[in-house]
Amino acid sequence: MISRSVSALVQALAEREISSVELTQLYLDRIARHNLALNAFVTVDPEKSLAQAKRADERRAAGQATPLTGIPLAQKDIFCTQGWLTTCGSKMLGNFVSPYDATVIEHFNATGAVILGKTNMDEFAMGSSNETSHFGAVKNPWDTARVPGGSSGGSAAAVAALLAPAATGTDTGGSIRQPASMCNLTGLKPTYGVVSRYGMIAYASSLDQGGPIARSAEDCALLLNTMAGFDERDSTSLERSREDYSRELSARTPEKPLAGLKIGLPGEFFGEGCAPEVMQLVAEAIVEYRKLGAETVDISLPNMKLSVPAYYVIAPAEASSNLSRFDGVRYGYRAPEYDDLDDMYARSRAQGFGAEVKRRILIGTYVLSHGYYDAYYLQAQRIRRLIANDFIAAFKQCDVIMGPTSPSTAFRIGEKASDPVQMYLSDIYTIAVNLAGLPGLSLPCGFASGLPAGLQLIGDYFSEARLLNVAHRYQQVTDWHQQYPAGFD
């Protein structure tokens, strides 16, 4: 049962093969058995989870079920969840019990889904390895000496180790796609504004976007159907008609299901900087796509090389503003000893934030300061526009852009901790997507020395259904996404 997809579990619940209470207990038992080795979950509350599962079974018995009714899911600890600890991986929020639900959580609750627990993450989503969490590093189930990717590493590790059938994540510069790549999962970052940010603790408001992490594109589509939707409480939410993101997956599969699809291959994705064994797996996946009927065309994204420096000006600038609310006054950590109000602010923030968060706050404050705003922040925003324009031009030549998700497979815990620049370069292929606000997806495309690698698909605005279909067709003829790490069966 634990190796079944979300869609298969939906069918099992509908056919009364298993109850939600039984299924939830099965996953809770696995979390109790394996979480100590992985550190994937920060908070688990079996009583709350089983109560939700019981209500889901009653709802199903009354004939009021939706597709996700009774499905247990892991929630990234960045989504405010009423009555649950919501820590954002930080000492600053180590004792914060949310008084309300994020919109994403509301949507899942409305469908009758079950919360298995809150997953570990890089502190305030700032990291590419899940090593910056106040609660310790998350371990990759494929090799527990290696990172699972970040910042949604806890969600990815939980799904990869079969501790949850699927999970939520957030993606500011690659934080869904990179963990999906390193843990052999499928992860989708939707178009900016498709998923509400209300109740999702902010890192960089113009970049953050919630999305699903699962084993297959089909499962991601099921989750996105629930997560997406307009929210008047979020000023960045887009008012659009609801759509079925799985609508293209059930179409009859011809011999060449992707005939007519043009895949763009940016020269900037296929130069130096990517591990040869990862590039080889990507090349093999491209061959498979040609067999499926797709055509490949060479394209260029000339300003992509500027995406990392632009991102690490814009994101810290927004973080320095967003994190100013954590001052020890209204909620969160407060220093036990201080002399006056200013001293309380200083001590609470010094003690409550970790090193990486402090680094980004300082960078952000610097680039927004008088005399540097024009030189750094405005210049970065101009580069952001150039990057978006590159994608607009590229999509006049192709339907989907393809390349590696991460320049390497999972690296060892501690390997890059002392070199922030090398850590930041882990997101070199993903950051441009966030700067442009586009949808991006990572799916498994093979193994290098026993470690998974990911293939990235980038689409035009609001093309999530197409991306999911393109990934789904590949997963119909390959089985990379069906392989699981040893020791977690």
Q: Which residue in the list 151, 155, 237, 426 is annotated as catalytic? A: 151
User: Could you report the per-residue pLDDT of 179-227, keeping only the tens digit for each?
Assistant: 999 999 999 999 999 999 999 999 999 999 999 999 999 999 999 999 9
Distance from CA of residue 477 to its chain's centroid? 25
Residue 178 has pLDDT above 70, yes or no: yes
The H-or-E segment that residue 111 falls in is helix 103-111
Residue 301 has pLDDT above 90, yes or no: yes
How far is 186 from 328, CA to CA, in rounded Å? 38
pLDDT of residue 315: 97
Q: Which positions ≥6 away from 53 have C-beta within 8 Å?
A: 19, 20, 21, 23, 24, 25, 70, 72, 114
pLDDT of residue 271: 86
pLDDT band at 255 (very low <50, low <70, confident <90, very high): confident
Average pLDDT over residues 299-315: 97
Residue of 66, 330, 52, 318 lying closest to 197 (CA atoms): 318
pLDDT of residue 169: 98
Residue 254 has pLDDT above 90, yes or no: no
Average pLDDT over residues 258-283: 96
Average pLDDT over residues 415-440: 94
Percent of the chain predicted with pLDDT > 90: 95
Cα angle value 48/52/54 (rounded, 5°): 115
Query: How many Cα atoms are found within 13 Å in the side-chain-facing hemisphere of 56?
Result: 32
- Other beta carbons less than 10 A from residue 198's beta carbon: 20
Q: Can 76 be counted among the known catalytic residues?
A: yes
How far is 421 from 1, CA to CA, in rounded Å? 42
Amino acid code (one letter) for 303: N
How far is 476 from 482, CA to CA, in rounded Å? 11
User: Could you report the per-residue pLDDT of 335-376, keeping only the tens digit for each?
Assistant: 999 999 999 999 999 999 999 999 999 999 999 999 899 999
Q: Which residue in the list 76, 118, 139, 189 is annotated as catalytic? A: 76
What integer best gives the mean pLDDT of the chain? Answer: 96
Q: Which residue in the list 129, 175, 196, 237 is annotated as catalytic? A: 175
Contact 101, 86 (CB under 8 A): no
pLDDT of residue 276: 96
How far is 143 from 411, CA to CA, in rounded Å? 10
Average the pLDDT over each of 225-229, 254-258, 280-284 and give the range with the smallest value.
254-258
pLDDT band at 251 (very low <50, low <70, confident <90, very high): low
- Structural domain spans, the chain: 6-257
What is the Rg, in whole angstroms, of the alpha carbon atoms belonging to the chain?
21
pLDDT of residue 246: 96
How far is 477 from 265, CA to CA, in rounded Å? 21
Domain 6-257 - what CATH class?
alpha beta
User: Could you report the per-residue pLDDT of 449-487, keeping only the tens digit for each?
Assistant: 999 999 999 999 999 999 999 999 999 999 999 999 999
Residue 45, burial from CB neighbour count under 10 angstroms (0-12, 13-18, 19+): middle
Residue 488 has pLDDT above 80, yes or no: yes
pLDDT band at 252 (very low <50, low <70, confident <90, very high): low
Q: Three-class SS of residue 476?
A: helix
